[in-house]
Amino acid sequence: MANNNSMSIEPIGKLLLKFSVPAIVGMVVNGLYNVVDRFFIGKLGALAMTGIGINFPFMSLIMAFSSLVGVGAAATISIRLGENRKNDAEKTLGNAFTLLTIIMFLVSIIGLSFKTHLLYLFGASDATIGYASEYITIILLGTVFQGIGLGLNSIINAEGNPRKAMFTMLIGAIINIILNPIFVFILHMGVSGSALATVISQFVSSIWVISHFIGGKSNLKLQGENLKLNLPIIKGIISIGMTPFFAQIAATIEAIISNNALRTYGGDISISAMTVINSIIILLFMPLMGITQGAQPIIGFNYGAKQFNRVKETLKIAIIAATTLCMITFMVTQISPGIIIKIFNNDPQLIQIASHGIRIFLLMTPIIGFQIVSSNYFQAIGKAKISLILSMLRQVIILIPMLLILPNFFGLEGIWMAGPIADFIAFVITAILLYKEMRLLATTEF
């Protein structure tokens, strides 16, 4: 249990670097993993890219259920290990595996049964429904693999194996990057080929994480007796996992409203532009997510061990690092967005719309790092309700009303304006709640 001991005594800066660097590399690779489909499909034309954008709500739903179990279990396991309750941590692992399998199987069945109706709801037009349906049909067949791969990989990181978690994403991304051009261009499978490459890579990743907990050098073992669902354990997982779950559900609702507004005020080409913008956001913000992922087990462990000074120091360093990365992202997207957009598609109209949109949509990027790290802090210490509120602030409480109201007055411009307005308000409220939490933490130190 050397990994666990190091979390209570090793210098925070060194420890955060140890956890965050592999997580950052892994998340960047994961970003490529998620974006590579769009890169190759973008070469098939703007309408094909729009078809992928239409599927974002579907992909977000899959991520929501993966996060519900994976992130919830990971946070629970970090706290249990900090409390020296390894047996309870292993029970959580077993329940998480079973729960992921059941939920993802149901998602596949329901998604395949209602895909056409859902795609039109998500913003598809007669011109894009074919591309959207062709892609998501294959993706839904591999949902179980994606859920297990993503969900259990969060636990690998939580148990103190950030490098192994990084390799999980690295393996999947490399396979996806290799197979995508082969299936799309050499075998002329088009959109279906890209989806198939993704599912194969997810299958390999799921086998990798399962083997880690069964026969690998893991602190935790996936054992048969722990696979039986235990209601108190499930409640604990879900109570914490509800924060990222609702954040993803909110992203789903946001995407549906956004897609329909974009189609109304800018046509299919605007959905394609937003798809490119979201792809760029994924790539540029993955290092930020790597920092939060690296900080989570350190905060959770030391909070469980009641070493609150180390908790606050981890939070402080993580916020500084995240803000630095956000400033770099801000400069890149404001100075030369067109160069990045051309990587996905060379359509002049698409480049013009996306370049203008991303400058406005990411105007408040410098303060986003603070908001995300702070929200994840509350999740890491098990305060799910506060974390849920902070996560819902931007994507539901503020952003969705903005997306519904602003386009009526400003058209397409109003859709871009909704992002920075939501970011600023969420930042202010997050700062107030974190200040109160730090004062409360100071009174409990001993």
Q: CA nearest 310: which of 82, 48, 106?
A: 82
In this prediction the pTM is 0.76
107/142 Cα distance (integer angstroms): 10
- The boundaries of the domain holding residue 25 are 2-444
Question: Which pLDDT belongs to residue 360?
Answer: 95
Question: Which pLDDT belongs to residue 2?
Answer: 42
Q: What is the pLDDT of residues 149-192, one digit of tens each?
A: 988 988 888 887 877 887 888 888 889 989 999 999 899 899 99
Question: Which pLDDT belongs to residue 394?
Answer: 78
Instruction: Note the residue count of the chain.
Output: 446
Residue 82, CA atoms < 13 Å, CB-side half-sphere: 27
Band of pLDDT at residue 1, cut at 50, 70 and 90: very low
Q: Is the pLDDT of residue 93 over 80?
A: yes
Q: How many domains does the chain have?
A: 1
CA angle 73, 151, 25 (to 5 degrees): 110
101 exposure class (CB count in 10 Å sphere: 0-12, 13-18, 19+): middle
Q: Which residue has the tokens 């509120």?
A: 389
In this structure, are residues 170 and 204 in contact, taking their beta carbons and an 8 Å threshold?
A: no
Question: Which pLDDT belongs to residue 116?
Answer: 94
Q: What is the pLDDT of residues 189-208, one digit of tens each?
A: 999 999 999 999 999 999 99
298/373 Cα distance (integer angstroms): 13
Element (H, E) at 319: helix 308-335
Higher local confidence (pLDDT), 166 or 363: 363
Band of pLDDT at residue 94, cut at 50, 70 and 90: very high
